[in-house]
Structure formats: structure tokens, C-alpha cells
Amino acid sequence: MKSKKLLLLSAISLVALASCGGNRRIDMSTWKFSPENPDNIKVGILQPIEHGALTAARLGFVSAFEASNVKVTIDYQNAGSSSSDLNTLAKNLVANNDLTLGIGTGASVALQSASIYAGKTNPIFFTAVTDAVDAGLVDSDAAPGQNITGSSDLNPVADQIALIKRCIPSATKIGVMYTQSEQNSKVQADLAKAKAEQEGLAVTIATCNDASDIASVAQQICSSGISALFIPTDNNLAAHMDSVKAALDANHVLCVTGETSSCQQGGHVTLSIDYEQLGYKAGLQAVQVIKGEAKPCDIPVFKFAGAECELQISSANLADAGITLPQEVVDAAKDISK
């Protein structure tokens, strides 16, 4: 997931780094993890914004050390959706810790850029990143190639769109809404559009710039005659789902979201990955590196299989929007109403 404006800033940072030799490759054949104090590893964690999914991933990451009996000192920083703070915090975390975790793509790219700029080779881990290859974090999901690896939160977009037809068999037109600056949200929107068109659904795409125009964009697309709205994993929207909910309620539009917290805060139904487990998987990768069992370059990026996702509904939000789902969907789903 990406925070607003972070992708553009990170891209600018990477261009600047490349111009001063920041695109250098690390010789991973001779690389080794060398913490300052092997008995108490210093771990820096960078989170771009506060919302349920990212916080769950962070807690899962930390719990992996506890479960593995690895002693660490956590240095947790939250940028509060500020892109400038994100980059400053990334530099400080890289300078003062043995390894770092970026939560979401923007935070992960910021840590990677700061590490390159500082000439550091300490391991970097990420979680809640939709497409690590597209973001330039790894060479490939199977073989990351450098001192960074982690876990991806790419949700089963095709299955989410199929879920719309399962909930509303008569649907003919759907909407997809995401934040324009969140490139990984666009990746999901493109996948959703392709799947919807395969299903014979007409698709309307709507993008917002930041929190200030979410309400107006949501109202515009929800009043355009769509039967349902798909919202991918998008940090900006996840943090402001109340604005989307108002439009959903007023227009009685079904909302399928990419993950649990967005569904709980305003959406109606999702096939969600477990973000706490997602962070836990990244934590286990870090434990492998700390124990000398593997190098980041050789640890594949973790992804949940579609079959591992949980069908969830918010009966409270459905009631607010005046929507009734088929009983077979209700019976198969977990109710996550607040």
C-alpha cells in the first residue's frame, strides 16, 4: 500500500541518488549481517500513516521476534502521512539501527533510498507492499537479489470482482476508486478493470488526489449509476473511509474493499488477507537473517494465496446502506462489524 504523494517523492529521490552513484549494487556473495550488539538487535520500523491494516502488520512483525526468542530493541516511527517526515525518519532509522522495516511501499522505498545514499548494506524488510518489483525494491519476487525482502499484500483482485457478481448477479456497471498518487492502487485498479470487462461489466474509474476530495469523488461515482464500487488497498482511502461511506449510504451502492480495515470502516464485503500474519511472515524472514540462516537476496517475497483469504462482511455498514446480500454469502462470511 502507498501513502499519498509518497511514490512521486520516492521516484524523485531515486533519480537524485542515481545521479550521484546511488544505483550501486551490493555484492551479496560476500554480504553478511553484522549487528552492533548481536545479543540485542536494534530494529527500526517506519510506518507512513495510522490505520488498522498497517498497524496490524507492524504488530505481527514484532511478534515474530518474540515467538522466535530473538531479543530486539524497537525504534518505531510514524510519519503521520507527511512525505517529508517519511524521508527524514527513514534516514534516521537507517543510521541508527541494525535492520529496518518499511510498512507500505512509500516507507520501504524511503528506507531503501536512505540506505543507498548513506552507503549502508544493513538488511531492509518490507510488508504491505503490493508490487515490490514494480516499486523497484527487488529484482524479482522469487529472487530479490539485494539486501531487501519482505511480504506483499497483493489481494486477489480477480476474486474481489467475481465477488461483486456473487453479491449482485444482475450487476452490469461497477466503479473503481483509488488515490491517483498511489501507483500500487493503480496496479490493482487495472487488474480490476480487466477482470470486470471479462465478466461483462462496464467499468467507471475515479481517482482522488488526497483526503480533501475523497467525499466529492465518492459521491460523483456512487451517483453515476454503478451497482458496486471496488476500492483496492489504498492508504489514503483506508484512512478516510468515513467520507466514502457517506456516499455509499446515500446512493445504496455495494462496496467491495481490498482488505479488512477498509471494509470495517465503511465498506461492505471483502476477501481479505490477514495483515498481522503478513507482518509476522516478514518478521520470520528477519529472524532468518539474524540467525544467519539466509540472506535477504535469497528469501522470496511472501504472498498469500487467494484461497488463504477470508470472506468478510460488515452487516452494520450493509444495513446503513440499505443493502441485503444473498444468504449464501452471509452464511459463508465472517461478520467484522464494529
Return the sign of the alpha-carbon dihedral for residues 313, 315, 316, 318. Answer: positive
Q: Give residue 235's pLDDT.
A: 85
Whether 6-153+275-304 and 157-272+307-335 share one fold: the answer is yes
Q: Which of 77-86, 92-101, 122-131 has the lowest mean pLDDT?
A: 77-86
Q: What is the pTM of this model?
A: 0.81
- CATH for 6-153+275-304? 3.40.50.2300
Strands, E, within 104-161: which ranges?
124-129, 148-152
Q: Give residue 52's pLDDT.
A: 85
pLDDT tens sequence across 169-186: 999 999 999 999 888 899
Question: How much is the CA Rg of the chain, to the nearest whole Å?
Answer: 20
Pairing of strands 310-313, 269-272: antiparallel
How many Cβ atoms from other residues are within 10 Å of residue 193's Cβ? 19
CATH fold for the domain made of 157-272+307-335: Rossmann fold (3.40.50)
Q: Give residue 1's pLDDT.
A: 57
335 pLDDT above the threshold of 70: yes
Task: Indicate the burial class of 211 (C-beta count within 10 angstroms; 0-12, 13-18, 19 or more).
Answer: middle
pLDDT tens sequence across 59-83: 999 999 999 999 999 999 999 988 8
- pLDDT classification of 240: cutoffs 50, 70, 90: very high
Residue 264 CB contacts under 8 Å (≥ 6 apart), including other chains: 52, 314, 317, 336, 337, 338
Domain boundaries, the chain: 6-153+275-304, 157-272+307-335
Average pLDDT of the residues in 129-135: 92
Strand order in the sheet with 334-335: 202-208, 173-179, 228-231, 254-257, 269-272, 310-313, 334-335
Pairing of strands 269-272, 254-257: parallel
For residues 332 and 309, the answer to whether their CB atoms sit within 8 Å is no
pLDDT tens sequence across 3-16: 434 443 444 344 33
